[in-house]
Amino acid sequence: MMNMEKAVVTPISEAEKMRKELREKGYLDLERKIRTINIDGNDFLEIPVTSDIEGMNIIEQQDPQYYRKWKSLGERIDDDLQEPYSGPIPSGWQILGDIIVVSIDEKSEDIKNLIAKKLLEMYPQCNTVVRDLGIEGQFRQPKREIIAGSQTETIHKENSCLFKLDVTKVMFSKGNLYEKKLMSNIGSDEVIVDMFAGIGYFSIPIAVHAKPEKIYSIELNPESYAYLVENVRLNKLSDTVEALNGDCTFLTPKGIADRVLMGYVGTTHHYLKQGIRALKPGGGMLHYHETTPEKLLFDRPLSRIKNAAVKEGKKVEIKECRKVKKYSPGVWHVVIDAWIY
């Protein structure tokens, strides 16, 4: 049986005026497409309407064409089940290149494959879905389960920068986007040391947008370092970024930096001595990251920076303190910008 809906037929020359009038009066059906029809060799437009309208010639439209209606993940899942699903359904996910990273509650284990299938329907440009199970180990590597597809390496574009990565081997947090954009606007003509470079989270956007003189990017994890080198190549930054593989305790240069980035969280304070020593004798900017209990915000990181500076015979001028994101219940990821001289 053919689907029948109402429409107004109008000459093409009068169609825009008619469409505006119907929209203003609330009669225009926004879920169906306006389409061209031919009557006796002449072209007319069928404009879909929601009801009969006095004074207008309304027809029954045959086989109407609908705009694609966006459905939520929950609605799509229910479409495949005999009754609405009562368990927890993911409310958010990350799109990294052509890979979807999603957290799925263990109570929804029985429909994880259906969740993956529906996410791929929602994002046809993607071909793999992986389940996020947290992070582990010294290098904070992701624990992830492939649910759909097989390709876990991708190239993700962010802020006009390219990042190649394997989502099962290295982390990529889109929650730090504001901080990365902020950093990408500083450091013009400067020498910068990025002590915990990862795959280039900060080094790449700074080099692309701020045009520094030089960035020394230090990364301990061999897998992250390999992607750092690849991302320097992808973004054509080999003249600006020098990637170094090893422990920043030993690799951090001394007395050369206008600016030092300490973008790691967890044990960052153990490396404050190296960060301060990397700055030029006349002074420089330290961007220090830490995960801090809410009750110590911002007291603990400020105290740590000041104590480390005193031990090095330096003074501190705090420029800015800011929250990046909630790290865990009661704990914040924060950044302190401190001028050390």
57-101 residue pLDDT tens: 888 887 788 776 678 999 999 999 989 999 999 999 999 999 999
pLDDT tens digits, one per residue of 295-311: 999 999 999 999 999 99
pLDDT given at position 143: 94
Residues constituting the chain: 341
pLDDT given at position 266: 84
> Residues 114, 228: one domain?
no
> Residues 132, 210: one domain?
no
> Residues 182, 138: one domain?
no
Environment class of 70 (CB within 10 Å of its CB; exposed 0-12, middle 13-18, buried 19+): exposed
Query: For residue 4, is pLDDT > 70?
Result: no
Three-class SS state of 43: strand
pLDDT given at position 65: 84
> Residues 34, 95: one domain?
no
Query: For residue 338, is pLDDT > 60?
Result: yes
Kindly report the average pLDDT of the chain as a whole number: 92
Query: For residue 104, is pLDDT > 50?
Result: yes
> Residues 213, 319: one domain?
yes
* Whole-number percent of the chain with pLDDT over 90: 74
Query: For residue 116, is pLDDT > 70?
Result: yes
Please indicate whether residue 136 or residue 192 has the higher confidence score (pLDDT): 192
Q: What are phi and psi of 123, to 5 degrees?
A: -125, 75
> Residues 329, 256: one domain?
yes
Please report whether residue 286 resides in a domain. yes
Rounded Cα–Cα distance for residues 238 and 229 (Å) = 9
Q: What are phi and psi of 277, to 5 degrees?
A: -65, -25
> Residues 136, 10: one domain?
no
User: What is the pLDDT averaged over residues 149-155?
Assistant: 96
> Residues 328, 210: one domain?
yes
Neighbours of 194 (CB within 10 A): 31
> Residues 52, 12: one domain?
yes
User: What is the pLDDT averaged over residues 205-217?
Assistant: 97
**Which tokens in the block code for residue 256?**
């050369």
Please report whether residue 33 resides in a domain. yes
Please report whether residue 78 resides in a domain. yes
User: What is the pLDDT averaged over residues 265-293?
Assistant: 96
- CA dihedral (34, 119, 142, 242) in degrees, to 10, reads -30
| Sequence-distant (≥ 6) Cβ neighbours of residue 3 within 8 angstroms | 63, 64
pTM of the model: 0.78
pLDDT tens digits, one per residue of 256-278: 999 999 999 889 999 999 999 99
pLDDT given at position 296: 93
Among 151, 186, 211, which residue terminates a domain? 151
* Whole-number percent of the chain with pLDDT over 70: 98
Which 8-state DSSP code applies to residue 106? G
Rounded Cα–Cα distance for residues 198 and 305 (Å) = 23
Q: What are phi and psi of 36, to 5 degrees?
A: -90, 135
- CA dihedral (102, 232, 219, 140) in degrees, to 10, reads 0
> Residues 189, 325: one domain?
yes
HSE-CB for 42 with a 13 A CA cutoff: 7
Rounded Cα–Cα distance for residues 236 and 23 (Å) = 50
CB contact at 8 A, 91 and 108: no
CB contact at 8 A, 231 and 194: no
Among 62, 84, 111, which residue terminates a domain? 62
Q: Which amino acid is at 213?
A: E
Please report whether residue 156 resides in a domain. no
Please report whether residue 297 resides in a domain. yes
Query: For residue 18, is pLDDT > 70?
Result: yes
* Alpha-carbon distances, residue 271 vs 20, 147, 257 (angstroms): 65, 39, 16
Domain count, the chain: 3
Q: What are phi and psi of 170, to 5 degrees?
A: -135, 155
pLDDT given at position 69: 65
> Residues 264, 298: one domain?
yes
> Residues 82, 36: one domain?
no
Q: What are phi and psi of 18, to 5 degrees?
A: -65, -45
pLDDT tens digits, one per residue of 40-60: 888 899 999 988 888 788 888
User: What is the pLDDT averaged over residues 174-192?
Assistant: 90
Please report whether residue 164 resides in a domain. no
Provide the residue range defining the domain that includes 15. 4-62
Rounded Cα–Cα distance for residues 184 and 81 (Å) = 47
pLDDT given at position 3: 45
pLDDT band with cut points at 50, 70 and 90 for residue 1 = very low
**CATH number for 300:** 3.40.50.150
Please report whether residue 49 resides in a domain. yes
Please indicate whether residue 171 or residue 189 has the higher confidence score (pLDDT): 189
* Alpha-carbon distances, residue 220 vs 19, 136, 223, 224, 249 (angstroms): 62, 16, 9, 8, 10
Please report whether residue 165 resides in a domain. no
Rounded Cα–Cα distance for residues 217 and 179 (Å) = 18
Query: For residue 173, is pLDDT > 90?
Result: no
| Sequence-distant (≥ 6) Cβ neighbours of residue 137 within 8 angstroms | none
**CATH number for 46:** 3.30.70
